[in-house]
Amino acid sequence: MTTIQLLIKDIKNLRPVPAIANQIIEMVDNPSVSMQDIAKIIQYDPAVTASLLRTCNSAFFGLTNPVESVKDAVAILGIDQVVELSLLNASGKTLNKAWKGYGLHEGALWKHAVSSALIAKDIANKIAPESRNTIFTAALLKDIGKTVLDKFIQISSDKIQTLIDNNGYSFIEAEKKVIGTDHAELGAMIAKIWKFSPKMVNIIRHHHILDQNVGKDRDTAIVYLSDCICMMMGVGVGVDGLAYRFNDKVIRELAISPDDISKIIADFTINMQKVESLLRVV
């Protein structure tokens, strides 16, 4: 079996993001579906409802009266946030583990995913409000390919590091060269098998913007920027460190200035403690 065939076999064995999350993701992408329709789906899933209520009642929100139903949660937090929390609850179990190949201790990839999703949403609220749910979800799940590629990284880490240190490769370029595929490409394969929308598959596939033309897609560029910000902040960063390419042209086209980036970082840092409490609950 070739490496690629082995990887595809692994994808099929991967514990999928629960069906409910899949359903929500699909609905989020469909403009004819209302947020209320999504709330209805959530309340029929007891596991997601239970963890949603636990999260709503955590220190992250600091509510004075406890939330007791999905309806309450929607009324108090708004439907957007309820959808986000349901997605967080559903994807946490897959992402929360330790990934040794990438040098990520337990919870690190999860922290990176959640932080990146919150930052992406913050940027989307400013410049792409109509796509904020898709952008949030794509940022949350963009590194799903790492969960399958991890054991191959573990056995190829020396070769990958040599290409970065001596040949000017970025980490993802080195993955492709050594293993024959990379975590973004694999992530897109997984997303496709899980029947995510073509738009979501596309953002996951291109979230490191290896091709200049891809950077013209605003939603992909926002997810890319949120990833770069997390790397700079050292949030959930592993052996790949900051060894990815920074594309300032893409950022400039979003009309985001260096000061804007600093402000996003400052905002996120102020909320970091709250984020930590959110991570523990999920």
In the complex, which residues of this chain contact other proteins (CB under 8 A)?
103, 157, 161, 164, 170, 228, 231-235, 237-239, 241-248, 251, 258-259, 261-263, 265-267, 269-270, 272
Rounded Cα gap, residues 263 and 229, in angstroms? 11
Measured torsion, CA atoms of residues 10, 182, 1, 102, in degrees rounded to the nearest 10: -60
Q: Least separation, in Å, of the C-beta of 257 and other proteins? A: 8
SS (H, E, C) 168-182: CCCHHHHHHHHHCCC
**Cβ proximity to other proteins, 92 vs 238, nearer residue:** 238
What is the distance in angstroms between the CA of the first residue and the CA of the last residue of the chain?
Answer: 38
Nearest distance in Å: CB 103, other proteins:
4
Q: Which is nearer to other proteins, 16 or 103 (CB)?
A: 103
194, amino acid identity: W
We find the least distance from the C-beta atom of residue 210 to other proteins, in angstroms, to be 12
Q: Name beta bridge partners: 33.
A: none
Q: How far is the CB of 67 from other proteins (least distance, A)?
A: 28
Burial (CB count <10 Å: 0-12, 13-18, 19+), residue 262: exposed
Rounded least distance, CB 223 to other proteins, Å: 15
Contact between residue 55 and residue 278 where contact means Cβ atoms under 8 Å apart: yes
Q: Which amino acid is at 82?
A: V
Residue 104 pairs in a beta bridge with 99
Cβ closest to other proteins, residue 57 vs residue 154:
154
